[in-house]
Amino acid sequence: MLINEFVASSATEWVELYNTTLQDLNISGFYIDDIAAGGGAPMQIPADTIIPAGGFYVMDLSSYLNNGGGDVRF
pLDDT digits (tens, 9 = 90+) for 4-51: 888 876 677 888 999 999 999 999 999 988 776 556 678 899 999 999
Residue 18 pairs in a beta bridge with 2, 56
CA–CA separation, 31 vs 74, rounded Å?
6
CA–CA separation, 64 vs 50, rounded Å?
22
pLDDT digits (tens, 9 = 90+) for 45-55: 999 999 999 99
